[in-house]
Structure 1
Amino acid sequence: MFLLMGINEMGFEVFEEMLDYGDELQIEVYELENGTVVIDAGVKAQGGIGAGIYLSRLCMSDLADIQLAPCDIGGILLPGVQVATDYPAVSCMASQCAMWQIKADKYFAMGSGPARVLAGKTRDLYEKIGFEEFSDIGVIVLESNKLPDEKVSASIAQKCGIDPADLRIAIAPTDSVAGLVQVSARVVETGLHKLFTMGFDINTIKSGWGRAPISPITGDATNCMGSSNDAIIYGGETYYTLLYEDTEELQRYLKGMPSSASRDWGAPFYQTFKAAGFDFFKVDHNVFAPAKVVMNEIKSRRTFVCGKTDHEVLMESFHLECLDSSV
């Protein structure tokens, strides 16, 4: 795969652009003593939808078109996010997928973005999609309710093989507007990740499009983790173009791909998580997938559809309270 510049360089350009619009995005910027620059998009800063769009662009190394889009949930219009990419394997899996657990002393965060490839996290993934990168700069997005310090940034930089002064960090918690936007922007990636765990060759996917509603802030970080997952599980719709000659095998994969193929489908994720004792290992991970999937196989010119949305579960998960305006 040929890109004009490395994904960390592309992420760095988005980061710099974010700095230029800092006031408009309602973010806060600070520099650690070791030179790492940090953008706070929701921990102490106000942040917002615009900051969330920028976080999403960072996560995907700016290899996707990301826009706001309306989503109708049971007759109620809510903001949603729409994602389109012609580099699905790289933008979604090599960069956006949050598969890096950042641990330093008592600090914990989930990391995504182009710096993941420098640290070689999920090396088998990079080998299977045939992607690697060497860079002197690194860009990472953290999902956490605590700002990183020098120890955290030094640990990340060391794993990336770069100087802490060449590391750029953007952060937002799950229970923030910006954080919820960037979770919904994972709708295309969630589908690719599900296929990857099923043993599917995601290199056959040539483009991806998706849309998901943006969850309102529904409570604390755990509640918002549940509702933001539900935005994709029950409201996420995706469309992929791919080259896959064995269309019968493709249909078998597709039938197992949507979230409705999971035994845990049908209730808000927070309820499922609570019933599992808040233990992720007791949750059926097959539920982490878009609600509806469309696949257009280019060679056969056939298009297959599977899955379904569930607006009733979304209304419950989002805590939508419909009032009678005549009262």
Structure 2
Amino acid sequence: MGPAMSGLSLNHTAFPLVEELMREPERYGIRVLRAECGATVLDLGVEAPGGLEAGLKMVEICLGGLGRASLAWLNVAGRFIPAVSVWTDRPALSTLGSQMAGWKLELSGRVVLGSGPARALVKKPKKVFRALGHEEEADLAILALEAEELPDEDSLRGVAEACGIGPDKLYVLVAPINSTAGLVQVVGRAVEACLLKMMNIGLDVMAVRTALGIALLPPPHPDPDVCMGRTNDSLLYGSTVILTADLDDQVLAEAVPKLPSCSSPSYGKPFLAIYEEAGRDFYSIDPAVFAPAQVAITSLRSGHTYVAGELNEGIIVESFGPRA
């Protein structure tokens, strides 16, 4: 089990990043709105243009202020494609305790998944927070939504009540997946996908000490379904995660081959095809496919590195284009 993290408040460590967005909305291309109930809503791409920088800030806020995000380049089939690079020294807490889209919410009659530090106040999902052993204490809450519309007053009040705070202490970031910021924040989840897969196969995620992840940033598209397909293709076929962990060689030798997306029988098709075959039902898709393309873990006990998976250039080119 890793070191105790009880002294950290994810909402408080992320809040300076929220304040930075609020201080310079024009720089980040966002809108800062005050709801009637007192909650603050940050529009990063619904009606505001948003942008790359807003997306990177959203990634860091979703990580509870415990990780950093930047842009990079990867060579895919002789063509350079932008990518989102993320690193953190608190992998389990920042990704599973905050970034993971683990809070089901109803927004104007539609179910959306909430990310960000507010999840730690409501402990959603509970089995994750049992594994993390984290007790969040905060007098404010920061929630991130991948949504095509801004939350209504009832939704904001409901979130604040669930978090045990007044609505005036609630900050909600919103970006649709077919916005620039939305694309960035989704592909900034390679490490999270890897840690969740580790937890699901029974590994001690608190043994992971450092994490670095990179995933291709797809070209934008006006259709949210196309963007959903491309961002998932980025994670499943165009991402690499590198971890260090306090785990034995035998554990890693057995576990690492199970971690990449290629361990799933659903692997090998563009995600939209997988989605259609599952009747457009995420919960009918083999969960093992939701993982990075390549995973490398170094044992801090032996210094040996175990690697599995590889980038699938063919599917990335098919998914991203270009089209003649």
Structure 2 CA distance for partners of 1:3 and 1:127, relative to 1, 3 Å: closer
Cα deviation for residue 2 of structure 1 reads 4.3
Among candidates 225, 238, 243, match of residue 241 of structure 2: 238
Matches for 1:166-315 after TM superposition, within 5 Å: 166-245=169-248, 247-315=249-317
Matches for 1:58-207 after TM superposition, within 5 Å: 58-207=61-210
Cα deviation for residue 146 of structure 1 reads 0.9
Deviations 1:44-77 (A, max 9, x none): 1101111100110110011112111112221111
Per the alignment, in what secondary structure is the counterpart of residue 200 of structure 1? coil
Contact kept, 8 Å, 2:6 with 2:136, in 1: the verdict is no
Cα deviation for residue 159 of structure 1 reads 1.0
Among candidates 14, 19, 26, match of residue 17 of structure 2: 14
Per the alignment, in what secondary structure is the counterpart of residue 128 of structure 2? helix
Query: Matched residue pairs, number?
Result: 321
Contact kept, 8 Å, 1:65 with 1:83, in 2: the verdict is yes
Contact kept, 8 Å, 2:6 with 2:135, in 1: the verdict is no
Deviations 1:227-269 (A, max 9, x none): 1011010010010000112x22321111111001111111110
Contact kept, 8 Å, 2:252 with 2:297, in 1: the verdict is no
Name the amino acid aligned to 2:82.
Answer: P
Q: Residue 40 of structure 2 aligns with which residue?
A: 37
Partners of 1:215 and 1:100 in 2: CA distance? 26
Q: Does 1:57 align with 2:56?
A: no
TM-score calculated relative to the size of structure 1? 0.95
Structure 2 CA distance for partners of 1:25 and 1:105, relative to 1, 3 Å: closer
Deviations 1:87-113 (A, max 9, x none): 001111100001111114514322100
Name the amino acid aligned to 1:256.
Answer: K
**Stretches (4+) displaced over 6 A:** none
Per the alignment, in what secondary structure is the counterpart of residue 112 of structure 2? strand
Cα deviation for residue 281 of structure 1 reads 2.4
Partners of 2:131 and 2:277 in 1: CA distance? 35
Per the alignment, in what secondary structure is the counterpart of residue 139 of structure 2? coil
TM-score calculated relative to the size of structure 2? 0.96
Among candidates 309, 312, 320, match of residue 318 of structure 1: 320
Per the alignment, in what secondary structure is the counterpart of residue 58 of structure 2? helix
Query: Once superposed, what is the RMSD of the aligned Cα atoms?
Result: 1.3
Contact kept, 8 Å, 2:5 with 2:134, in 1: the verdict is no
Percent of pairs with identical residues: 35
Contact kept, 8 Å, 2:178 with 2:224, in 1: the verdict is yes
Cα deviation for residue 219 of structure 1 reads 4.4
Contact kept, 8 Å, 2:64 with 2:94, in 1: the verdict is yes
Residue ranges of structure 2 left out of the alignment (5+ in a row): none
